[in-house]
Structure 1
């Protein structure tokens, strides 16, 4: 069907130019082509819940195969909702595009209307590109109702008076005094015993380097991981590996790695200006550990060996080593004599009121 736009708009006093129409169609085509590079959708399985119910929040990303998309992690910001579980659906290819799905099990313990904020997804034109762009999903509103019924909200009668309990204040005072006396007696006894043996009462604690502690824990884990993997304790295995690396980061670089997510640790390491290979090695181990802990991924034996080796390589590459430097100063006899003369002259200058008698013959 052909539509004459000029006749249609002349009735309203508007002249529709064919050139303007062609330009609008071209711009809309370019905009549609740009927007078709990546699409993100978010949905929930239910929008009306009660307190404590879990919701499945699904994030679906559709993008071209050449596009690099930053994978959302388990520490996403979903507003007032708590993330209880996190799973990754295997990506599929549909009509030449990659479709990825990430499911979050979330919950909230309050009533009212809550909004899941827009979920940001970072993407770039290629794996080596640095100019990341952000695309966001639409916010989703969730209504949370109380589990109480109208009968539960009714005012109840006042409970009857209770009997006053016995006063144990006196017994507590006597017991506290007895404990203090016992503690003083035991302290005097241990002090007398250590003095008798010639041992110090308080021992100095040797502070070990962070890499020694981490490598020792890593060695113990390397001896136990085959049995843990056989017993199906792969989640505990990679939890221990992640904690070893996070404690090492806290003791070595003084960052709060135990309280930070993998993404926040990566940002902290960039501020420290560490080597990029070392950073990528550490982040790879932490992301693989998150995959096993939160996405229920079952690792193979060769993958476990690889992650343990990369963890050890990172610790060896970033450990702090102290080297003892000894300075040896040799003084000749003539330098000793000249130093002695300089000391005498300096003493005479500083004590001009009480001159020092010197002998004319110095052997």
Structure 2
């Protein structure tokens, strides 16, 4: 459904404050930014601020927020947000605000509802049809073809049995790394930091390798298939463990930013390299069992 600047109402849970959200359309495209404008009439002395960290979820990310200039003498505060949907279908995006008035603060929330569609052309790429229907073999040839098939299968079986020992040895590959999971991850992060992927402008490759290092670490640490799971699936697993909320928020912020760089045209900031490497090191450090936990038989 598409509406010109459909207005969505946020009713605050205190002081009678209302924040109005408006978007150009209630339909959005996966991975593409949506501009959201917010406006609120405040009482004298009141202040309103976006709670960016609390607002982001697994289904969307807020990549930009700025306060717009209000008319002279007006008590209205106006903001402009850039939101990127990360999941398909009808979605509800909660946006949280902090309202300060009379020496007290209170959280206000609203729900922005959008219908998120696949990018143009995604359906056509999956709609592959045969150019011509398959042709059946002539009835007179099928016994001969069957004999050839059986002969080929017998030859393949004999060849495979002869090569099986050598192939098994080749497929075994190098032995698994015996070092602890955190030592391997720290070594891989140091190697990534020393690489020139970032300086050469290969930011998508940088974030791909950064998240792969953390996925392999989580797989070694807790023995779940992190290298084959989505960011949302990994986040659900981590929430099921006794981890600090700030650590969960750090993981979510890092992986969402990596997904945005890898899958959309989000511009990168040169400060992100060191900040995100430091965040990855902290994730490894803070999830590494301490000596007291190991002595008590805690998670390895």
Q: Specify the TM-score bucket, using the shorter chain as the normaliser.
A: 0.5 to 0.7
The 8 Å contact of residues 117 and 140 in structure 1, kept in 2 or not, is answered as: yes
User: What is the aligned partner in structure 2 of residue 261 from structure 1?
Assistant: 231
Secondary structure of 2:156's counterpart equals helix
Question: Is structure 2 residue 209 aligned with structure 1 residue 221?
Answer: no
TM-score normalised over the length of structure 2: 0.59
CA distance in 2, matches of 1:160, 1:274: 56
Shift of 1:66: 3.6
The SS at the match of 2:37 is strand
Structure 1 residue 241, shift from structure 2 partner: 0.9
- Of residues 202, 220, 227 in structure 2, which corresponds to 1:233? 202
Query: Separation in 2 of the partners of 1:53 and 1:316?
Result: 34
* Candidates 42, 56, 69, aligned match of 1:94: 69
2:219 to 230, 246, 250: 250
Quick check: 2:38–2:79 contact (8 Å CA) kept in 1?
Answer: yes
2:21 maps to what in 1?
Answer: 40
Q: How does 1:288-307 map to 2 (within 5 A)?
A: 288-293=257-262, 294=264, 296-300=266-270, 302-307=271-276
Which structure has the highest strand share of the two? 2
Cα distance in 1, alignment partners of residues 105 and 220 from structure 2:
31
Whether the 8 Å contact between 2:50 and 2:96 is mirrored in structure 1 is: no
| Higher RCO structure (Cα 8 Å, ≥6 apart) | 2
Q: How far apart, in 2, do the equivalents of 1:65 and 1:130 lie?
A: 10
Give the CA RMSD over aligned residues: 4.9
Aligned mates of 1:131, 1:265 — CA distance in 2? 32
Structure 2 portions without partners, runs of 5+: 1-11, 41-46, 71-75, 118-131, 296-300
CA offset digits 1:75-119 (Å, max 9, x no partner): 34xxxxxxxxx88455232326241333558998xxxxxx84543
Residue 291 of structure 1 deviates from its aligned partner by: 4.8
Q: Which residue of 1 aligns with 2:158?
A: 181
Alignment map for 1:43-58 (pairs within 5 Å): 43-44=24-25, 58=35
CA contact (8 A) 1:62 1:100 kept: no
Q: 1:133 to 1:185 in 2, by over 3 A?
A: same
Counterpart mapping for 1:1-363 below 5 A: 34-36=16-18, 38-44=19-25, 58-62=35-39, 65-69=48-52, 70-72=54-56, 75-76=59-60, 88-95=63-70, 97-104=77-84, 116-125=90-99, 134-137=109-112, 164=137, 167=142, 168-187=145-164, 205-206=175-176, 208=178, 209-224=180-195, 227-254=196-223, 257=226, 259-261=229-231, 265=234, 268-276=237-245, 278-293=247-262, 294=264, 296-300=266-270, 302-320=271-289
* Structure 1 residue runs without a partner (length 5+): 1-29, 77-85, 109-114, 143-158, 195-201, 326-363
